[in-house]
Chain A
Amino acid sequence: MSSVVIAGDTSGTVTLSAPAVSGTTTLTLPATTGTVLTNASQLVGTGTATNDSAAAGYVGEYVASTIAYGSAVTTGVAGTNTSITSISLTAGDWDVSGVFTFEGTGAISTLNWAMAGGASSLSLTSATQGVAIVTPMNNAVWTLVGIGFAIPTLRWSVSSTTTVYLVARVAGSGGGTIGWGQIRARRIR
Chain B
Amino acid sequence: MKYAIIREDGKTEIREDSYPLQTGAIELTNIEYDQLCSGQYILSNGQIIVNPNPPKELGAA
Question: What residues on A are CB-neighbors of B56 within 8 Å?
Answer: 103, 144-146
Per-residue CB contact flags for chain A residues 40-83 toward chain B (1 = under 8 Å, else 0) read: 00000000000101111000011111111111010000000000
Report chain A residues within 8 Å CB of B10: 71
Does A182 lie within 8 Å of B37, measured CB to CB? yes
Q: Report yes or no: B15 in contact with A66, Cβ–Cβ below 8 A.
A: yes
| CB of A156 closer than 8 Å to a CB of B | no
Residues on B with C-beta less than 8 A from A54 are 18
B17 with A62: CB separation less than 8 A = yes
The contact of A69 among B13, B30, B51, B58, by CB within 8 Å, is B51
Among the listed B12, B17, B60, which residue makes an inter-chain contact with A145, where contact means beta carbons less than 8 Å apart? Answer: B60
Question: Is A180 an interface residue when CB atoms closer than 8 A count as contact?
Answer: yes
State in angstroms the CA–CA spacing of A53 and B18 once bound together.
7
Is A112 close to B, CB under 8 A?
no
Q: Which of A63, A67, A69 contacts B17 (CB 8 A)?
A: A63
8 Å CB contacts to A: which residues of B13-49?
13-19, 30, 36-39, 41-42
Q: Which of A56, A63, A69, A87 contacts B39 (CB 8 A)?
A: A69
CA distance A64 to B33 in the complex (A): 12
Give residues 113-148 of A contacting B (CB, 8 Å).
144-146
B18 and A70 form a contact (CB under 8 A): no
CB distance from A67 to the nearest CB of B (A): 6
Asked if A85 is at the interface of the complex by the 8 Å CB criterion, the answer is yes
Query: Is A64 a contact partner of B17 (Cβ separation < 8 A)?
Result: yes
A68 touches B39 (CB 8 A): yes
Known A53-B18, A70-B12: A145·B37 in contact at CB below 8 Å: no
Min CB–CB distance B6 → chain A (angstroms): 9
Contact pick for B30, options A51, A85, A103, A182, CB 8 Å: A51
CA distance A71 to B6 in the complex (A): 10
Give every chain B residue within 8 A of A87 (Cβ-Cβ): 15, 17
Q: Which B residues lie at the A interface, using CB under 8 A?
A: 1, 10-19, 30, 36-39, 41-42, 51, 53-56, 58-61
Contacts A69-B54, A87-B17 known; 6 new A-B pairs at CB < 8 A: A62-B18, A63-B16, A66-B15, A67-B13, A69-B39, A71-B13
